């Protein structure tokens, strides 16, 4: 799984400062948190192996979820990493990790990973995010891998959007992930 998000979404009910469930999905998929969430997989085993998960674009991480991120060894490319190492390096490494020994990759794209200037229509905007072009590169590289198994585009909040700017971006990013190219 390549998880694009401003947040790591690795809170549990006991670690979350807000108690908001939308900050818990990755933890639950990795087998941590409330039994009701973890049990959605069905058999009680975690849905994901932490060795196969990479987060891109994190810049607003609760201090209470950092211990779980570190304990599980989740690879996280923060915006600082992207600034220092370059997006291409980070994304190439992310897909290499996610594809190592797996049948393919699932791209989870939270629109709050994108800077609010390009994606204002989200519920939890955080300045300093991915640019429009960086977001496309992540999706274009999913298509280029030839191993994209699934994708979800989340956090679109039409009531917060400006002239459907974020909605149009979401559709455009999905097209890129499905193989649409410039030429």
| Interval 50-76: pLDDT, tens | 999 999 999 999 999 999 999 999 999
| Interval 134-150: pLDDT, tens | 999 999 999 999 999 99
Contact (CB, 8 A) for 9 and 62: no
Helix (H, G, I), strand (E, B) or coil at 133: helix
For residue 105, is pLDDT > 80? Answer: yes
- Tell me the whole-structure pTM to 2 decimals: 0.96
For the chain, percent of residues with pLDDT exceeding 70: 100
Other Cβ atoms closer than 10 A to 50: 19
| Interval 74-98: pLDDT, tens | 999 999 999 999 999 999 999 999 9
Helix (H, G, I), strand (E, B) or coil at 114: strand
pLDDT at 41: 77
CB burial string 5-29: b at 16+ within 10 A, e below:
bbbbbbbbeebbeeeeeebbbbbbb
Say how far apart CA 103 and CA 86 lie, in whole Å.
27
Say how far apart CA 77 and CA 110 lie, in whole Å.
15
| Interval 146-175: pLDDT, tens | 999 999 999 999 999 999 999 999 999 999
The position carrying tokens 């211990």 is 67
For residue 44, is pLDDT > 80? Answer: no
């Amino acid at each position: 799984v390549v998880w694009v998000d401003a947040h790591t979404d690795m809170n549990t009910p006991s670690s979350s400062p807000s108690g908001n469930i939308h900050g818990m999905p990755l933890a639950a998929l990795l087998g941590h948190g409330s039994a009701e969430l973890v049990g959605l997989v069905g058999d009680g085993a975690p849905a994901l192996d932490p060795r196969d998960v990479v987060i891109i674009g994190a810049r607003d991480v609760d201090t209470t979820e950092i211990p779980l991120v570190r304990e599980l060894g989740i690879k996280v490319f923060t915006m600082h990493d992207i600034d220092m190492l370059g997006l291409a390096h980070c994304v190439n490494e992310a897909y290499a990790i996610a594809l190592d020994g797996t049948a393919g990759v699932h791209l989870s794209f939270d629109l709050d990973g994108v800077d609010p200037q390009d994606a204002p229509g989200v519920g939890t905007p955080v300045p300093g995010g991915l640019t429009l072009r960086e977001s496309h590169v992540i999706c274009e590289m999913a298509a280029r891998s030839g191993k994209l198994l699934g994708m979800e585009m989340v956090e679109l909040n039409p009531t917060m959007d400006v002239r459907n700017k974020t909605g149009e971006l979401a559709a455009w990013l999905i097209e890129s992930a499905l193989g649409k190219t410039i030429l």
